[in-house]
């Protein structure tokens, strides 16, 4: 473990059933990491908040007719998950596999700050006033993070309400007529 906050380059998720929390191990480039936990409520707010930011910050979708905006974001989401744009869900971006077995007790994340820059989403996970983890993500990595959070919450049986239609089940395939 290293001093916090760390600038994470990889994330590993697992569900902690006894605590009913998403367990997250964030590691920096040197392999030092921080073990944190996300509550059901915070996971729902984070997933929906990042989805809204993706929708609002897409230049093409913001100029498109309202009826087409979800489709534009869905295409971008599919591209992030299955298309071009760097590493998929790997150690280099967001990993869906569980954290290492011998971890100290997780620190509970109480707040998340997101700052948009022209090229990145700067995400900070905090426990109260102290920063724990910093992430600098491009749009495609944010799509991947939203997908992992959504899948993990679904696997935990949390039934979180998704505000974005393009994240709903059944939106994983696009059919062109």
Instruction: With residue 149 as reference, give the H or E element that holds it.
Output: helix 139-155
Dihedral angle over CA of 140, 141, 146, 147, nearest 10: 80
Domain contains 143: yes
Question: Packing angle between helix 66-82 and helix 40-56, nearest 10 degrees?
Answer: 110
Give the number of domains in the chain.
1
Domain contains 43: yes
The structure's pTM equals 0.82
3-class DSSP string for 77-146? HHHHHHCCCCCCCCCCCCECCCCCCCCCCCEECCEEEEEECCCCEEEEEEECCEEEEEEEECHHHHHHHH
At 150-160, the pLDDT tens digits run 999 999 999 99
* Residue 168 confidence (pLDDT): 73
DSSP string, 44-78: HHHHHHHHHHHHHT-HHHHHS-HHHHHHHHHHHHH
At 65-84, the pLDDT tens digits run 877 888 888 888 888 888 86
* N-term to C-term CA, the chain: 52
For Cα atoms 69, 74, 78, give the angle at the middle one, nearest 5 degrees. 155
Domain contains 17: yes
* Residue 78 confidence (pLDDT): 86
Residue ranges making up the domain that contains 50 = 6-167
Domain contains 176: no
Under-70 pLDDT residues of the chain: 1-2, 84-102, 169-177
Domain contains 1: no
Domain contains 137: yes
């Amino acid at each position: 473990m290293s001093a916090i906050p760390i600038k994470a380059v990889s994330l590993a998720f697992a569900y902690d059933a006894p605590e009913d929390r998403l367990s997250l191990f964030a590691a920096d480039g040197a392999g030092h990491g921080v073990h944190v936990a996300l509550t059901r409520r915070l996971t729902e707010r984070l997933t929906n908040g990042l989805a809204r930011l993706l929708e609002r910050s897409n230049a093409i979708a913001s100029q498109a007719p309202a009826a087409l905006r979800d489709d534009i974001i869905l295409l971008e989401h599919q591209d992030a998950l299955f298309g071009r744009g760097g590493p998929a869900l790997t150690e280099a971006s967001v990993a869906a596999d569980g954290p290492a077995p011998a971890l100290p007790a997780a620190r509970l994340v109480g707040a998340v700050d997101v700052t948009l820059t022209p090229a990145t989403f700067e995400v900070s996970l905090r426990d109260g006033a102290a920063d724990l983890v910093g992430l600098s993500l491009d749009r495609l990595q944010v799509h991947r993070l939203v997908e992992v959070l959504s899948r993990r919450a679904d696997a935990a049986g949390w039934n979180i309400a998704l505000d974005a239609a393009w994240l709903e089940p059944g939106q994983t395939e696009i059919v062109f007529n």
